[in-house]
Amino acid sequence: MLSFVSSYCEKPGIFPLSNPTSRSECTAEEAVEFTNGNLIFASGSPFDPVEWKGKTIQTNQCNNSYSFPGIGLGLVSSRSTRVPFETFQVCARVIASIATPEMLATGKIFPDLDNLRAVSLEVGIEVAKMAERMNLATQFPPKGMDWREWLKHNMWQPEYPHIVVKNL
């Protein structure tokens, strides 16, 4: 099937999204092999980049971790009265806008997973602004703060106090 698709498309997008990795529709290596290395690959499970004929083919992990934290942050921070379809369009546009020309040139269409907090903040800001534009927001940033500052303030910080456990 992959060979067939690549015979009709110069650089097909191959998105095996099933999890776990053992249930993925194909591996990154298989996708690269059957498309002769001309593809954009994004999967639901993590795959390492693939070495193919002297070049590195980038892989992307495509899952809801890019969208739902930011959507939640924006909706909760604005206390939106509902979640309209446009929420997901806004989210998709923000995530797509993060891909730089340099990333796209290497086949990367998503930022690295270690940038999820920054992605969540950007998605959240635009979702909150959308809720405000659509008159769905019932909470707004305090006077003197913009949406960015307000969402940064509301964002959960993974900081834990130092805990000492003594042997009993």
* The two structure tokens encoding residue 134: 């659509």
pLDDT digits (tens, 9 = 90+) for 79-107: 999 999 999 999 999 999 998 999 888 88
Hey, is 9 helix, strand or coil?
coil
Please, are residues 119 and 70 in contact by the beta-carbon 8 Å criterion?
yes
* 80: region left, alpha or beta (phi > 0 left; psi from -120 to 50 alpha): beta
| 135, burial (CB in 10 Å: exposed 0-12, middle 13-18, buried 19+) | exposed
- Residue 40 φ then ψ, to 5°: -115, 125
**CATH architecture entry for 64-154:** 3-Layer(aba) Sandwich (3.40)
Please, are residues 41 and 28 in contact by the beta-carbon 8 Å criterion?
yes
Please, are residues 70 and 127 in contact by the beta-carbon 8 Å criterion?
yes
Please, are residues 109 and 99 in contact by the beta-carbon 8 Å criterion?
yes
- Residue type, position 141, single letter: P
Residue 106 is predicted with a pLDDT of 82
Low-confidence ranges of the chain (pLDDT < 70): 165, 167-168
Domain edges within the chain: 1-61, 64-154
